[in-house]
């Protein structure tokens, strides 16, 4: 009896062990033909990374619940396979072997992890070179080459430095281009350039300008007309600057408005309105940078942002303090009849009949934006194509994001429904549909009216494509740099560096100041976005997660940082004497360049100071946007009233 008990117990234990063995898989059944190991392209010291173990015969895993007990660096690990692939977490702190054993499958390789501090070298090199040489294109290339060489060394030794140099071109740049979203951004941006060229040449844009400026007969109304034109030509800052500056110059001279004031209004409407309007030549680049950051953030654990790049952009407008304050400050100055700083002296001189100094630089070739000879100057030739691209984008967002269940939910508010629809939409498809349709309408309208032949209209649109090429090259390099910094875990390094000293609420302000400094030093808002977006967006999320914020609480910080990169870039652009739009504003208005810089600087810094204050209030204390913007405008009113002196605007 006693012997039977032990025999039964032994049989039970044997069956139990067999069952457990089946549950986790008998690894001895697998051999080298069943697995393939894919390590990360670069191991980074002290960072948890995943090695991918691919089962080439996934059907063999089914009896074991897709689980298999393996040995990783001498320790047991239960690998869970999904879709035939298991992610094996590893951390390396020194140069050592990576060993993995799954049954008869054995893999051993030597890992030389890169020290994490090396990850900051590429973006830091880009920033330093951009500040020193005031040139973005070469700086981005240098950063990519340096990062690829470092990654190559820690992957393949000394020979990897040379191969990494070439990998910068044949891998990072090609991969940046070989992406549906990136291609969509490039196509949309160049098509918008074509639309701007066609509606400029067919006289439509000039007709809009003439209509707005026709009733201006006083200094106040002349400045207001200039501001309105700057808002109306919202889709491109270059077109805005050149068209408004050249068109309004003779009128403002007649009304005794200083060239400095004209240059200020032109410059301070061009970039701000192009930065925040929903459909502009800027939006493609902005969405590209945001999309790249979302890819980096969503690659991390528990960090999935279920929003499209366009939805993130729309949310970021709640924090677009500098662009809105800059636009509002112009109106405050106009309607208060007050100016301060060097602008006051310039305006007093103009009212007394003194001529503002003309630009010392040579005239700019603005023929690209002038109508062809004999163009009839009809507003519809500009308004209809612009309407098609704006309304077409809205329609495209609804079509691609429409969910009948969301729309039919009676318990959900309209704003929430709209947010979900836009968040689920394919913004790239919507933008492509709208821009191509708009270009087709512009070309056909121009040809049908005999303003240009069909072939000439197409040629004009192609010329417009070319104007966007330099910006697209910068964008492509920025994408490549973003991929490189993601591979090198730059955000992890910066988050660890600042984790104990920088609170998440302070990141937007730091971002704003950094973007402004880079933009001021390089003179390029676009180049600044290319440098700062890939760096600060992932960092803001890393710091928020490290501080213990939930994804829902981290999103407002992310939106704020998204806006601060753009806002800081525009502020630095306005203050910099080497800024492209600042120079174009001086040339288009025929104002002395340094006189324009000196007179605009106090206004830009005033709006910038207010933007910093309300960035802090929004991020640290949670002030809502519907309080921030009115309070900010009231603050600007108080500043102009306190420091401004009255100028006769009769």
Contacts of 345 (CB under 8 A, 6+ apart): none
**pLDDT tens digits for range 524-551:** 787 778 778 888 888 888 888 888 888 8
Rounded to the nearest integer, the mean pLDDT of the chain is: 81
pLDDT of residue 364: 44
Residues 328 and 466 in one domain: yes
Q: Is the pLDDT of residue 14 over 60?
A: no
pLDDT of residue 131: 67
Residue 79: CB atoms within 10 A of its CB come to 22
Q: How far apart are CA 535 and CA 421, in angstroms?
A: 29
Listed residue (335, 267, 341) closest to 573, CA to CA: 267
Per the listing, tokens 């002030």 go with: 623
> What pLDDT band is residue 219 in, cutting at 50, 70 and 90?
confident
What backbone phi and psi angles, to 5 degrees, belong to 571?
Answer: -60, -50
**215 with 221: CB under 8 angstroms?**
yes
> What pLDDT band is residue 325 in, cutting at 50, 70 and 90?
very high
* DSSP conformation class of 59: G
Burial of 4 (0-12, 13-18, 19+ CB in 10 A): exposed
pLDDT of residue 419: 62
- Own/partner pairs, 222-225, CB within 8 angstroms, 24+ separation: 222/248, 222/251, 222/252, 222/255, 222/257, 223/252, 223/257, 223/261, 223/265, 223/334, 224/331, 224/334, 225/251
Q: Is residue 95 part of a domain?
A: yes
Helix (H) or strand (E) holding 629: helix 625-643
* DSSP conformation class of 358: P
**pLDDT tens digits for range 121-166:** 888 888 788 767 867 678 888 888 998 999 888 888 888 888 888 8
Q: Is the pLDDT of residue 649 over 60?
A: no
387 vs 414, which has greater pLDDT? Answer: 387
**CA-based angle 240:226:353, to the nearest 5?**
125
**330 with 269: CB under 8 angstroms?**
yes
**Residue 489, CA distances (Å) to 42, 219, 539, 542 in order:** 10, 56, 10, 11
Which of 59-63, 179-183, 335-339 is modeled with the greatest confidence?
335-339
pLDDT of residue 648: 67
Residues 167 and 226 in one domain: no
pLDDT of residue 362: 39
Q: How far apart are CA 83 and CA 85, in angstroms?
A: 6
Domain final residue pick, 128, 148, 178: 178
Helix (H) or strand (E) holding 35: strand 35-38
Listed residue (192, 286, 289, 205) closest to 236, CA to CA: 192
* Cα 89 → chain centroid: 31
Tokens linked to 48: 């948890």
**pLDDT tens digits for range 448-494:** 999 999 999 999 999 888 877 876 787 688 778 878 877 888 767 76
Burial of 506 (0-12, 13-18, 19+ CB in 10 A): middle
Tokens linked to 66: 């897709």
Domain final residue pick, 96, 113, 130: 113
What backbone phi and psi angles, to 5 degrees, belong to 502?
Answer: -115, 115
pLDDT of residue 281: 64
Listed residue (320, 312, 262) closest to 286, CA to CA: 312
Listed residue (630, 543, 626, 603) closest to 341, CA to CA: 603
pLDDT of residue 334: 93
Q: How is the chain split among helix, strand and coil, in percent rounded to 5? A: 70, 10, 25
Tokens linked to 577: 């004497």
pLDDT of residue 302: 54
Residues 64 and 171 in one domain: no
Which of 504-513, 548-557, 590-599 is modeled with the greatest confidence?
504-513
108 vs 364, which has greater pLDDT? Answer: 108
Give the range among 7-11, 216-220, 326-330 with minimum mean pLDDT: 7-11
Q: How far apart are CA 548 and CA 546, in angstroms?
A: 5
**pLDDT tens digits for range 86-106:** 888 898 988 889 998 887 888
Contacts of 142 (CB under 8 A, 6+ apart): 125, 126, 129
Q: Is residue 3 part of a domain?
A: no
Q: Is residue 8 part of a domain?
A: no
Residues 142 and 214 in one domain: no
pLDDT of residue 18: 47
**CA-based angle 511:539:298, to the nearest 5?**
130
Residues 161 and 285 in one domain: no
Q: How far apart are CA 211 and CA 190, in angstroms?
A: 28
Residues 462 and 333 in one domain: yes
pLDDT of residue 65: 79
Q: Is residue 15 part of a domain?
A: no
Residues 153 and 201 in one domain: no
**pLDDT tens digits for range 26-39:** 555 777 788 888 88
> What pLDDT band is residue 439 in, cutting at 50, 70 and 90?
very high
Q: How far apart are CA 489 and CA 431, in angstroms?
A: 32
Residues 144 and 280 in one domain: no
Q: Is residue 572 part of a domain?
A: yes
**pLDDT tens digits for range 328-359:** 999 999 999 999 999 999 999 888 876 655 54
| Terminal alpha carbon distance of the chain | 118
435-473 exposure pattern, b = at least 16 Cβ within 10 A, e = fewer: bbbbbebbbebbbeeebbeeeebbebbeebbebbeebbe
Q: Is the pLDDT of residue 273 over 50?
A: yes
Q: Is the pLDDT of residue 287 over 90?
A: no
Counted domains in the chain: 3
How much is the CA Rg of the chain, to the nearest whole Å? 30
Q: Side-chain half-sphere of 278: how many Cα atoms within 13 Å?
A: 18
Q: Is residue 576 part of a domain?
A: yes
Return the CATH number at 104: 2.60.40
pLDDT of residue 395: 84
**608 with 559: CB under 8 angstroms?**
no
Q: Is the pLDDT of residue 438 over 70?
A: yes
Residues 151 and 285 in one domain: no
pLDDT of residue 415: 61
Q: Is residue 61 part of a domain?
A: yes
DSSP string, 306-357: ---HHHHHHHHGGG-HHHHHHHHHHHHHHHHTEE-THHHHHHHHHHTTPPPP
* DSSP conformation class of 394: H
Listed residue (185, 400, 204) closest to 282, CA to CA: 185
Residues 374 and 469 in one domain: yes
Listed residue (462, 424, 439) closest to 279, CA to CA: 439
Residues 525 and 600 in one domain: yes
Domain final residue pick, 156, 178, 200: 178
> What pLDDT band is residue 360 in, cutting at 50, 70 and 90?
very low
DSSP string, 62-93: GGGTTEEEEEETTEEEEEE-BTTEEEEEE--S
- The proportion of the chain whose per-residue pLDDT surpasses 70, expressed as a percent, equals 85
For residue 97, list its beta bridge partners. Answer: 110
- Give the mean model confidence (pLDDT) for residues 514-532: 78
Q: How far apart are CA 484 and CA 151, in angstroms?
A: 9
**24 with 69: CB under 8 angstroms?**
yes
Residues of the domain holding 147: 117-178
Q: Is residue 224 part of a domain?
A: yes
pLDDT of residue 323: 95
Residues 34 and 139 in one domain: no
Q: Is the pLDDT of residue 192 over 90?
A: no
Q: Is the pLDDT of residue 500 over 50?
A: yes
Listed residue (534, 522, 404) closest to 138, CA to CA: 522
């Amino acid at each position: 009896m006693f012997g039977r008990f032990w025999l039964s117990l032994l049989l039970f234990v044997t069956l139990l062990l067999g069952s457990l063995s089946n549950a986790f898989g008998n690894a001895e059944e697998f051999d080298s033909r069943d697995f393939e190991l894919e390590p990360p392209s670069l191991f980074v010291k002290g960072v948890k990374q995943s090695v991918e173990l691919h089962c080439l015969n996934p059907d063999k895993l089914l009896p074991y619940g897709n689980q298999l007990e393996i040995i990783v660096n001498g320790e047991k690990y239960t690998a869970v396979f999904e879709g035939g692939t298991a992610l094996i977490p590893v951390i390396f702190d020194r140069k050592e072997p990576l060993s993995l054993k799954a049954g008869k499958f054995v893999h051993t390789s030597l890992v030389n992890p890169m020290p994490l501090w090396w990850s900051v070298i590429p973006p830091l090199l880009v920033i330093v070179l951009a500040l020193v040489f005031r040139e973005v294109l070469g700086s981005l290339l240098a950063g990519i080459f340096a990062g690829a060489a470092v990654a190559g060394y820690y992957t393949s030794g000394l020979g990897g430095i040379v191969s990494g140099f070439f990998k910068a071109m044949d891998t990072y740049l090609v991969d940046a281009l070989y992406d549906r979203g990136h291609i969509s951004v490039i196509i949309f941006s160049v098509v918008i350039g074509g639309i701007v060229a066609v509606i400029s040449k067919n006289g439509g844009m000039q007709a809009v300008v003439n209509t707005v400026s026709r009733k201006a007969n006083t200094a106040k109304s002349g400045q207001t007309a200039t501001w309105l034109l700057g808002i109306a030509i919202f889709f491109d800052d270059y077109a805005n600057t050149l068209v408004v500056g050249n068109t309004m110059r003779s009128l403002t001279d007649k009304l005794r408005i200083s060239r400095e004031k004209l240059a200020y209004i032109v410059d301070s409407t061009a970039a701000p309105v192009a930065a925040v309007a929903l459909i502009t030549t800027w939006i493609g680049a902005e969405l590209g940078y945001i999309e790249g950051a979302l890819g980096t953030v969503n690659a991390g654990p528990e960090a999935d942002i279920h929003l499209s790049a366009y939805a993130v952009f729309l949310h970021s407008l709640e924090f677009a303090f500098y662009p809105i304050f800059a636009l509002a400050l112009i109106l405050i100055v106009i309607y208060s009849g007050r100016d301060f700083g060097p602008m006051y002296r310039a305006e007093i001189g103009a009212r007394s009949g003194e001529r503002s100094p003309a630009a010392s630089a040579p005239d700019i070739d603005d023929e690209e934006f002038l109508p062809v000879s004999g163009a009839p100057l009809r507003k519809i030739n500009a308004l209809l194509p612009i309407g098609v691209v704006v309304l077409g984008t809205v329609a495209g967002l609804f079509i691609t994001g429409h969910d009948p269940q969301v729309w039919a939910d009676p318990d959900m508010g309209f704003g929430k429904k709209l947010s979900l629809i836009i968040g689920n939409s394919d913004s790239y498809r919507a933008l492509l549909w709208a821009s191509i349709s708009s270009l087709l309408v512009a070309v056909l309208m121009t040809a049908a009216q005999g303003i240009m032949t069909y072939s000439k209209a197409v040629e004009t649109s192609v010329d417009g494509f070319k104007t966007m090429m330099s910006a697209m090259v910068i964008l492509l390099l920025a994408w490549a740099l973003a991929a490189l910094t993601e591979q090198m875990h730059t955000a992890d390094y910066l988050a660890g560096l600042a984790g104990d000293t920088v609170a998440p609420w302070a990141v937007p302000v730091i971002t704003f100041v950094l973007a402004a400094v880079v933009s001021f030093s390089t003179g390029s808002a676009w180049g600044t976005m290319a440098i700062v977006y890939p760096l600060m967006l992932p960092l803001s999320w890393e710091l928020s997660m490290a501080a213990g914020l939930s994804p829902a609480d981290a999103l407002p910080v992310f939106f704020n940082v998204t806006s601060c990169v753009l806002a800081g870039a525009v502020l630095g652009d306005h203050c910099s004497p080497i800024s492209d739009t600042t120079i174009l504003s001086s040339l288009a208005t025929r104002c002395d360049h340094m006189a324009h810089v000196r007179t605009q600087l106090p206004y830009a810094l005033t709006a910038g100071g207010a933007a910093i204050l309300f960035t802090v209030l929004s991020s640290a204390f949670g002030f809502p946007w519907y309080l921030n913007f009115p309070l900010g405008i009231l603050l600007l009113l108080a500043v102009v009233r306190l420091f401004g002196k009255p100028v006769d605007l009769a």
